[in-house]
Amino acid sequence: MSIETRGGPPLGRLLEQTTAFAVRTLQTLRRNSAVAFWAVAFPAMFYLLSVSLFIDTGGMPAEVVSAVKATHAVSYGAFAALTVFLSTFSQSLVADVERGRYRQFRALPVSPAADFLGRFAAAYLFAVAAVLAVLGVGAATGAAFTLRSAASIPVALLGLLALGLFAASIAVVLVAVVPDAKFASIVAVSVVMLAFFLTGYNGIQPGMLAGAADFVNVVPNALATRLAVHHLVAAGGWTQAGLAPPGAPTSTGHVALLAGYAVAGLTLAVAATRRSLYGGAVR
């Protein structure tokens, strides 16, 4: 699919180029079986191992067991999303860098913003599918999901959007600053694993962390995960499900912080794409 467009209103060109990058990226993701495994199958298997081998549910009431499984499903869904936005996103960029495509893009009237937005739109759709797949596996094992209100799905999607923009911006920066582009993907995988474990499974097990764990309601991956748990899991006891302290991140300030992460991620990603991949060109 051609990325280049000429003539027409600037907004029209931006939308056309964004769509072209999104379709191209989706086609690439769909044909890559390794991406499907690491972004969908691996988190789902990781979830199954956790609830089968590492969580003792023997003395828990049935409703608590279903809530614990649901919180872990949401956690591993966020893990799948992080894999898409960091590792898979960086691999997409690295492939185009190593194949010299950016020399072609720089010679064309291609908008750096359209480049990032198109790739991100494709990654976001893929991440939503990956999250739903992991939640589906969770439901099959007895996890119980309940919408807290009509706003629950929009809030969860906002959290995923904020997490995605923040993580994708890190992926762009990694590709820009790591001397050998192919190692950027390795670093991205390491960041995913570190973020997951250092925040107590994306914030759902703050008790495993030494000292105060209040930061799990602040860092992007844990904040988005815990907010999603609050809206999607009927944990009659937030504490019984192992989620407290701290309490649920339900204030307006927490939602505003997520929006701030989204804006900061978008700004950084577009700037890094323009500067590092397009040589500072403004189009």
What is the predicted pLDDT for the residue at 181?
A: 67
Please tell me the predicted confidence (pLDDT) of residue 177: 86
> Cβ(276)–Cβ(179) under 8 Å?
no
Q: 1: which 2 tokens?
A: 């699919």
Distance (Å, rounded) from C-alpha 5 to C-alpha 15?
A: 10
Provide CB contacts within 8 A for 253, sequence distance 6+: none
30: pLDDT confidence band, cut at 50, 70 and 90? confident
Query: Global pTM?
Result: 0.91
Alpha-carbon gap, residue 94 to 182, rounded angstroms: 6
pLDDT band at 129 (very low <50, low <70, confident <90, very high): very high
Q: Is the pLDDT reported for residue 210 higher than 90? A: no
Confidence of residue 261 (pLDDT cuts 50, 70, 90): very high
